[in-house]
Structure 1
Amino acid sequence: MSDPRVGLTVTHRRYVPYAHAHYCGSLVDGAYTLGLFGDVATELAIRADGDEGLLAGYSAVSFLAPVQAGDVLEASCEVVRVGRRSRELRCWAEVVARADPARGPSAARVLDPPLRVVEATATLVVPAADADITNG
């Protein structure tokens, strides 16, 4: 029988502020999106296991397109495998709206379809279900 946590998906949406642009063209470093995956994985662990868990690492990360200041970025993680203390996650991020300065200083547009910018496979670790975390 399949674990009911498999398929559980959590999504966060965040505006990427200009303060996070580090490169020409208002580009944002890849670590910004990986940080979002950490936040999403934390909520996913709380929902799946009642504990914040720890995003232990990535076995694969693909940066597919640039993230820019002024983007509205949607980051998602889905449980694809459940072990005794580990969860394998499929993570992805998409730009759902983007600044459009050619039309004006505050202009922006919704991207339809969204632009996939990062994909990753991550491992989340949670305490053993039988551990009594209140006694150390």
Structure 2
Amino acid sequence: MSETRRDRTPSARVGQRVTHRRYVPHSDAHYAGNLVAGAYSLAAFGDVATELCILTDGDEGLFASYSDVQFRAPVRGGDVIEISAALVRVGRRSRELDFEVRVVCRGTPERGASGAGVLDPPLVATTARGVVVVP
């Protein structure tokens, strides 16, 4: 028998974290300098928040708000980014999360058309705080 929401005890704990990695396609770059819109990071935050809500509450949850969104460095087509969400506050129905996008790999066209390298340390591109609600 499959598990239902009523069978599950919420396990939301401050400090829980989810991390995704993805390649940013060149087709998503819209601006000069091969830049990707800031909304790309916000959409990625939604993905990690959804997974975190599923893990902690057995539900995808709903985004209620963002605060303190900071675009600190560019994200470009061809980058590999790492997106993380960390649970910082657990309410009865709300969860407050800290988000970060880091560029971990970036193209190096000066080394050739397909040149790329690992950034060490990664470049922090976007940070934010958000609130999700769960039933």
Question: TM-score scaled by structure 2?
Answer: 0.90
SS at match of 1:67: coil
- Distance in 1 (CA, whole Å) between partners of 2:73 and 2:119 is 14
1:1-136 to 2 correspondence within 5 Å? 5-127=13-135
Q: Distance in 1 between matches of 2:21 and 2:48?
A: 10
The C-alpha deviation readout for 1:28-80, integer Å capped at 9, x for no partner, is 00000100000000000000111000121102100000000000000000000
Secondary structure at the residue paired with 2:111?
A: coil
Query: Given that residues 12 and 57 in structure 2 are in contact (C-alpha distance below 8 angstroms), is that contact kept between their aligned partners in structure 1?
Result: no
List runs of 5+ in structure 1 lacking aligned partners. 128-136
Flag as ranges the 4+ runs of structure 1 deviating above 3 A. none
Distance (Å, rounded) in 1 between the aligned partners of 2:22 and 2:12:
28
Per-residue CA distance 1:69-103 (angstroms, 9 max, x = gap):
00000000000000011000000010000011111
Alpha-carbon deviation of 1:12? 0.5
Q: Does the CA-based 8 Å contact 2:79-2:103 persist in structure 1?
A: yes
* 8 A Cα contact 2:71 2:126, kept in partner: yes
Does the CA-based 8 Å contact 2:57-2:134 persist in structure 1?
Answer: yes
- The CA distance in 2 between the partners of 1:4 and 1:120, in whole Å, is 20
Structure 2 alignment gaps of length 5 or more: 1-10
Cα deviation per residue 1:105-127 (whole Å; 9 max; x = unaligned)?
01100000000001100001100
CA distance in 1, matches of 2:102, 2:32: 21
Count how many residue pairs are aligned between Structure 1 and Structure 2: 125
TM-score by length of 1: 0.90
- Structure 2 distance, partners of 1:69, 1:95, is 11
